[in-house]
Structure 1
Amino acid sequence: MGIFKTRQNKKFNYIPQHYKGEGNPFEIKHKFDDQRKTIGKVGLKGKFENAWDDYKNTPDKSANKRTLIIVGILIFIFLLIIGFDLSIFFPKG
């Protein structure tokens, strides 16, 4: 053990017992990271642009309609909770 030498860490060749597959078993990765565009972008503007592109380019248009309906219902419930006068949306008859 020399005075100026730093101590080297021990290296182990450990493989988990039940691991069957490729790559690093210790890497934490989400299931759908390969399909997402919004993972690697930096900055708020880039994230919003990628999210909007994902929303526009989805092959399932019924999902877009469903999302808009859910957002509309949540806005309506919010307006009811805060006591907004909803009579302006309905004609008087």
Structure 2
Amino acid sequence: MGILKLRKNKKFSYTPRYFDDKGEGNPFEIKHKFDEHRKTVGGNVGFKTKLNNALDDLKNNPDKKADKRILIIVAVLVFIFLAIIEFDLSIFFSK
């Protein structure tokens, strides 16, 4: 073993126990179960493309109740945060 030489990694011929024999996909690839249904998951694209894809997904979302529910939850959390830091809302109203 030399001081300047790096050790080579060992190679094993491993086959996963519960891998189907059909050969569909890579058994070592970790994928989210909804990846094929979303456009925002994928390659390394620019910020503008990611933003446009996210807005398209939001516009084409069939579940409008969930969007409304999320907006209500965010609004309540913002008002709770403003109450905790004792923010004065009177600066938005004229006398």
Q: Is the TM value for this pair above 0.5?
A: yes
Equivalent residues, number: 81
The corresponding residue for 1:19 is 19
The C-alpha deviation readout for 1:8-32, integer Å capped at 9, x for no partner, is xx794x4312222522111111111
CA distance in 1, matches of 2:66, 2:32: 22
TM-score (norm 2): 0.68
CA distance in 2, matches of 1:87, 1:11: 69
CA distance in 2, matches of 1:65, 1:88: 28
CA distance in 2, matches of 1:11, 1:66: 51
Q: How does 1:51-62 map to 2 (within 5 A)?
A: 51-62=54-65
Q: Please, which of 75, 79, 87 is the counterpart of residue 76 of structure 1?
A: 79
Q: CA RMSD in A?
A: 2.7
The C-alpha deviation readout for 1:41-66, integer Å capped at 9, x for no partner, is 61222212211111121101101111
Q: Structure 1: which amino acid aligns with 2:76?
A: I
Q: 1:69: Cα distance to partner?
A: 0.5
3-state SS, counterpart of residue 34 of structure 1: helix
The corresponding residue for 1:5 is none
Give the gaps of 5 or more residues in structure 1.
1-9
Q: 1:86: Cα distance to partner?
A: 3.8
Kindly indicate whether structure 1 or structure 2 has the higher relative contact order, using CA contacts under 8 Å at least 6 residues apart.
2
TM-score (norm 1): 0.69
Give the gaps of 5 or more residues in structure 2.
1-10
Taking only the aligned residue pairs, the percentage that are identical comes to: 66
Which portions of structure 1, spanning 4 or more consecutive aligned residues, are displaced by more than 6 angstroms? none
Greater mean alpha carbon deviation, residues 15-24 or residues 32-41: 15-24
